[in-house]
Structure 1
């Protein structure tokens, strides 16, 4: 009789606790190169983590959502080259010194991005040995920044666009340079005459403020929790590395620096080190406060 009571109490506890905990994707179907937002709502849990199962396993820690009580969240960036299919995500966490596991599915579909051909001057398209060395070092330094995840969240308001202008080239467009180089457009281009003010999408710390071969004058802002916004081809930079920037401040002026065909703003996002669609990232990040 006592054993039956214990089993009944255990089942009742597990059922009650299961109802107290909620685990869900903001959107459980996303395109390649987009970001998934996984929300975990529960009281008195700790050390919540997730693993996205694939050939290259992705491991992430949940962050406390400062906008919501008893909620944790994880941003899962999906690579542009990720194969479209359903991925299994394993979640683990501790409650009352006991470790729990749950699983959930994330459906990744083909973004079906468009293609375009671009012609640039040979001097910029075909770098010499010195330029190859420079671009490799610039890439290495940038990735070191993007892979650094600040545990402190640096924004407390919704993200905004860096300017109010027509989008001239969407994120993800497949690009062919001079019929030789194949890649994809890693950001969103906004129409901007030289000297147009560019504002910070949200508050954060400047981690890159440098002239680079491809991106020209570049400012990269760390917003915390692995979220970075990037502003390229500027004619002027108003901040230096280490400066704190407030949302809406003018970080610089648009220009035509770097390897481009004309003046514009190239706006990009990195989340947990991976390049993602910046406009979709803004949309999903602003869900945290809703």
Structure 2
């Protein structure tokens, strides 16, 4: 097996897309009776790895029936159009609020360009390739999709983004959560225990819908969650609930911090510093040393979460 592919059992494989750093961004390949589906793709630069994963597992490119981005942020869906050029039988299943943005990615590109700038867009994402409209369809809440007879249930999952759905696999009793269940980096595992943090990346973070989505995910009593950032967490219903509580407590803390800094003249810098300090404090309570390396690892999340909280703050009523 290639070193960027992890066999998670139940015909599920996590593929490290190579985005930003190792074990930061995952795409998933599900295989059932010789047929396959990708859930999230990473960026254009990940496409060679995704195709190599098919080859490593002895699957032809025309064995892929579905490409399902959890939402259209580019670290999850930037490679969908390019990947589908190599998958002649695949259809893309996209949240209805995101469908038009992958069929015509101009607005998606411009929105990301405003956040990251031209140089970073080219370095990290590459030119976006449209998904052919005739090969794309919108998901619906509570949709049941079959992969070679294996049922996959999709639900609308707002909170991180309004163009977000989550995918339930009854076989493994796990959700593919995109960003709705937060982030958990394997570098921060302590004695096999994961540590979570929320993601409030711009521009559609909404705390109450996020809490409602997490409650809906927990209603299925999942044994594990398959995160894009990064990999599988959980292992039991109780452990998944512990991680959910940890993540949601931080949502409340982050919202309170943002509200306390609403009118601060140096709001962004204070918000970013407050987030970073909160993460490191929680990491130490988790049993991690949380030194300079951890601060460096979390710097990007602190920056993007601060930006997202500010977008939310500017539209929430006083």
Alignment TM-score > 0.5, same fold: no
Which structure is richer in relative contact order (CA contacts within 8 A, separation 6 or more)?
A: 1
> Whose radius of gyration is greater, 1 or 2?
1
Which structure features the higher share of helix residues?
2
Which structure features the higher share of strand residues?
1
TM-score, normalisation: structure 1: 0.24
